[in-house]
Amino acid sequence: MSILVLNGPNLSRLGKREPEVYGWQTLDDINRELAESFPHLSFEFFQTEHEGTLLEKLFHIEDSGNFIGVVLNAGALTHYSIALRDAISAVTIPVVEVHLSNVYAREEFRRKSVISEVCAGVISGFGANSYHLGVRALLGITRNEQL
Ligand code: DQA
């Protein structure tokens, strides 16, 4: 069984994009460290700039039956995509919402997430470590343990 680490719009630009907010690591760096930190787990890493592609990916991995859950950084889609929210509701696998930055300490519009209510939980503000914590949260859900 695998974990999907799913990234949305603009996260392909990590390392170049507003490094004072998002850090100097590229998405490849973050993904590599994640795989190294959990060598016993199997990961799929996927990033897209397109809302529909993100939805299709969720449905595809749900239908495959091979995934225990999703660590999702939806980028700006977090704040307005009802289509993404409905897609997360439509799948049975748990989705953990993660953000590199603390979205509650930034602009007003980032304080609203339309997907949080249908995600298993939210991790925000720990940089690349947000993804690590997201994986640990998924494992906790899967093992039905308290973290
Ligand atoms: C982000 C926060 C979002 O508000 C923003 O649109 C992003 C990145 C984060 O990881 O901190 O693209 O999801």
Ligand 1 and 132: CB distance under 6 A: no
Catalytic residue positions, numbered: 22, 99
Residue nearest to atom 6 of ligand 1 (CA): 76
Which atom of ligand 1 sits closest to the CA of residue 102?
11
Any atom of ligand 1 within 6 Å of the Cβ of 98? no
Cα distances from 26 to residues 41, 77, 144, in angstroms, run 21, 20, 32
What's residue 22's pLDDT?
95
Q: What pTM does this model have?
A: 0.96
Rg of the chain in Å (alpha carbons): 14
The per-residue pLDDT for 92 is 97
Nearest CA to ligand 1 atom 9: 99
- Ligand 1: which of 98, 110, 122 to mutate, most ligand atoms within 8 Å of CB? 110
pLDDT of residue 143: 84
125 CB-near residues (< 8 Å, 6+ apart): 99, 100, 101, 102, 103, 104, 105
Q: Distances from the Cα of 39 to the Cαs of 2, 35, 36, 106, in angstroms?
A: 12, 6, 5, 34
pLDDT at residue 147, rounded to an integer: 42
Residue 139 phi, psi (nearest 5): -65, -40
Second CATH level (architecture) for the domain 2-141:
3-Layer(aba) Sandwich (3.40)
Tokens standing for residue 51: 């809302």
Q: Where are the domains of the chain?
A: 2-141
pLDDT beneath 70: ranges in the chain: 144-147
